[in-house]
Amino acid sequence: MPAPQVTYPEVMAVGKEGFIAESRINAQIMSGNAGGAIPPGRFVKVTSSGVAGAVTPIVDLPTLTAHVTGDLSFGFTLQDPSAASTTGENPGYVQYDQIPILREGVMWAISEDAVATWGLPVFVRFTAGGAGQTVGRVRTDADTAKAVALPGATFMGTCAAEGLIKIEYRPQQ
């Protein structure tokens, strides 16, 4: 049996990566099946096997510009509290897990680089190539053609590099 909690932080975090930031009536959340290991808070695309009439699409991290800007772009993976480990953190999803995906709405994300101005476009990394670079994570620029602007996504605030920030995702239909 775990020990009872006897200390409490003075200030709670405003959110966690992959959490819904604003529960609006028009937020759209769908399910997808993980095509591989996918952490919460990452942008995912539908795999080709998920497009061919599957009831629940198979999703995976993007590897090409077209996976972010084209017909296969899908949404952001959300935290699932029921999938939390003993530390209370979601360790991520493994292949075949069913994952909640934000198709439209506002969520918390970690930005790879500093966000200096409210309303900047969100770029999604599709190629990792160095320290602190994670496929599917958001940032403010193309980083020498390793990330691309996500249509309909903007930053809703400012943060330091590796900081927590709200992003609004309203994809064009």
- The Cα 140–Cα 93 span in angstroms is 26
Residue 4 CA: distances (Å) to CA of 1, 7, 32, 82, 101: 9, 9, 36, 20, 33
- pLDDT, averaged per 10 consecutive residues of the chain (173 residues), comes to 77 85 81 91 82 74 93 91 62 87 94 95 91 90 92 96 95 74
Tell whether 140 is covered by a domain: yes
Structural domain count of the chain? 1
Tell whether 87 is covered by a domain: yes
pLDDT at residue 154, as a whole number: 97
> Which domain, by its residues, includes 149?
20-169
Tell whether 110 is covered by a domain: yes
Tell whether 9 is covered by a domain: no
pLDDT at residue 90, as a whole number: 60
Tell whether 74 is covered by a domain: yes
pLDDT at residue 172, as a whole number: 77
pLDDT at residue 84, as a whole number: 59
pTM: 0.86
pLDDT at residue 112, as a whole number: 94
